[in-house]
Amino acid sequence: MKLKKASSLFFLFLIYNFLSATEIKLIRKIDISQKEKYLNISDLAVTDDEVFIFTDAKESNIKLYNNKGEIIKIWGQRGPGPDELNFPSKCDFNSPFFALLDTGKMRVYIYRYVKDNLLLLKKLNSILCVGCVSPIKIYKKDIIIASYTRDKNNKKYNLYMKNFNGKNTRYLLPHFLKWGFKSEGEYQREYEIIPKYATPFVDFDVAENCVYYAWEGLLKIIKINLKTKEIHFFGKETENYTRPKPTKKIVKAFEERKVKLIEKEREKMSWVIGVFADKDFIGVLYNNFDKKTSLWKAICQFYKPDGEFMGEYHLPDAVDYSIYGPKHFYDKINNNLYILSRKLNEESYLDEYQIMKYQILK
């Protein structure tokens, strides 16, 4: 009797975990055409009617594509004018708003996306953002910015939030926490080693009044509650993940400025490249270098909002030849994850782009 009861409980446990698991499934591949215009994509966003918005820093414009991978509109041009761009880089979309970081002009622009045949981006406002090169996110009618800043007391932060008018600044993440240090003192003692093996690259997302933030060099997700201001940490280093560390070889390579050796040493480690979230789960993307293909391949982890690890999936089609890719965008309404894969065409030396559309199964 006890054996049957134990077996029943174990079976129910398996059923519960199966039903509560989060999975990811590739449902479509979309080739991004370059017949009419050469692409150099800096970032991407996807509207709720599945229009792909690509920022192009090299040409200082925004390119809009339909869900067949065909170009339908080019918006903006390089220049000093109020409606011109200098170096458009990071972006985000949360219907009906589109946010664009123009690194060259040190501004975050807020637009309203108009769904009609003209596909208009109507500018609402701009926010000063000095030295910002990291992601931005729209949260209700606020913009969250991952950039170094100081408050009136000269305290340093790496994440802050403003409303669409550029006012009511809220400082969210003390700068030493970004790197995994427990205190300001530990940061002062140890920080100098970080630039010798990693960069300041970060990513984050916001869901259910919480921000989930991660630095590339550590698989530690920082959860910030926007209401209570509480900060918690979670993350699981699996057998697929190799934690970056300042080995003697890579430190020496940095000191001697041997770029190729630095790249070779970084290829031995795993790097966090993305965070996406909704009310039911937190997704974390990191990449590993594949020697056979000379491409970085993405791996996706899932956690519950409380930080409990749920599983890990290889995404063999999500690739990039750069350590900082592939780029992604998560559609919270339809639970679709879009990953922009990129390969180098050895004959034309042009980037070949392909959107991988994944369905998140909850």
For the segment 208-218, what is each residue's pLDDT rounded down to a tens digit?
Answer: 999 999 999 99
> DSSP label at 78?
B
CA distances from 235 to 180, 216, 285, 332 (A): 12, 13, 12, 22
> What is the residue type of 54?
F
pLDDT surpassing 90 at residue 77: no
Q: Minimum mean pLDDT among 34-48, 264-278, 348-362: which range?
A: 34-48
Amino acid 317: pLDDT? 96
Tens of pLDDT, residue by residue over 59-71, are 999 999 999 999 9
Q: pLDDT-derived band of residue 115, with 50, 70 and 90 as boundaries?
A: confident
Amino acid 64: pLDDT? 92
Task: Please tell me which of 54-58, 86-90, 315-319, 350-354 the model is most confident about, judged by mean pLDDT.
Answer: 315-319
Across residues 120-124, what is the average pLDDT?
84
Q: pLDDT-derived band of residue 119, with 50, 70 and 90 as boundaries?
A: low
User: In the chain, pLDDT over 70 holds for what percent of residues?
Assistant: 93
Tens of pLDDT, residue by residue over 299-308, are 999 999 999 9
| Helices (H) then strands (E): counts for the chain | 5, 25
User: In the chain, pLDDT over 90 holds for what percent of residues?
Assistant: 73
Mean pLDDT across the chain: 90
pLDDT surpassing 70 at residue 330: yes
Amino acid 283: pLDDT? 98
> DSSP label at 280?
S
pLDDT surpassing 90 at residue 291: yes
What angle (nearest 5°) sits at the alpha carbon of residue 61, between those of residues 163 and 47?
55
Amino acid 13: pLDDT? 42
Amino acid 51: pLDDT? 94
Across residues 167-189, what is the average pLDDT?
91
Amino acid 16: pLDDT? 38
For residue 94, the SS3 value is: strand
d(CA 292, CA 267): 13
Amino acid 195: pLDDT? 87
For residue 254, the SS3 value is: helix
Whether this prediction's pTM lies above 0.85 is answered by yes
Dmax (CA) for the chain in angstroms is 80
> DSSP label at 114?
E
Q: pLDDT-derived band of residue 54, with 50, 70 and 90 as boundaries?
A: very high
d(CA 119, CA 248): 53
